[in-house]
Structures are given as structure tokens and as C-alpha cells.
Amino acid sequence: GAVVSQHPSWVICKSGTSVKIECRSLDFQATTMFWYRQFPKQSLMLMATSNEGSKATYEQGVEKDKFLINHASLTLSTLTVTSAHPEDSSFYICSAATIGTGMNTEAFFGQGTRLTVV
């Protein structure tokens, strides 16, 4: 159980275009999903917290108009990189929080999306 699927696993796009990444919890409901970015040979940096049915909460320094997050249902959150530029090339990973256990002690990660902007 507790499987999180991210799609696509990799994408190449032209500079100036937009790219949408999906994060789905396959066998549980997640009221909260997190989006992280990882640059080569670096750690994961939290970009935003996505709450079902409400606006996402962005970390300091993350442009909310550039990284659009939608969490329309309890099993799906999307990250759209708008007007992508080469510096947006990175590995994007989502995680989903379990609910219903009363403890919320573990986040489950998707397999990540490698974005390359050319």
C-alpha cells in the first residue's frame, strides 16, 4: 500500500513552454502533498505544500506564478512549470501524507520527474 505515482518520469521541453507534472496517490487519500526540487548533486528543497481544495503554500523564494500547483482531489496534485527556462531544469519529486491513522508519521514519495528545458 501507500503508493505514489508521478507522471511523466522525464520530459524535455522548449524554453518558454509550460509543463505539467502529476502526482497521484494510488491507494490512499492524501489531503496534503508536497513538492520538492532537487538540483544535481544537491538535496531536496521543499517548494510548496499542496492542500486539497485550497491554495498551495509556497516556501520563501519560490515563485507561485511560475510554479502553479493544483490539488483538485484527494488523490491528485499537479505542478505546472509555466514559461519554463533552462534554469528550471531539475528533478521534481512529490510526496503525499497519509491520513486516517491519527499519527501522520510518514510521507510517501513519487519516483520523480526529470525536467530538461532546452
The reply to whether 104 sits near other proteins by the rule CB under 8 A is yes
Contact window for other proteins (CB under 8 A) among 12-20, 66-74, 81-89, 99-107: 99-107
User: What torsion, rounded to 10 degrees, do the Cα atoms 59, 112, 44, 98 define?
Assistant: 70
**C-alpha to C-alpha distance for 21 and 60, rounded to whole angstroms:** 21
Judge contact between 69 and 13, C-beta under 8 A.
no
What residues numbered 1-40 form the site for other proteins, per CB under 8 A?
A: 6, 32, 34
Among 15, 17, 73, 111, binds other proteins (CB under 8 A): 111
Contact window for other proteins (CB under 8 A) among 11-19, 70-78, 82-90, 105-113: 105-113
Cα dist from 19 to 35, 65, 108, whole Å: 15, 14, 23
Among 81, 93, 115, 117, binds other proteins (CB under 8 A): 93
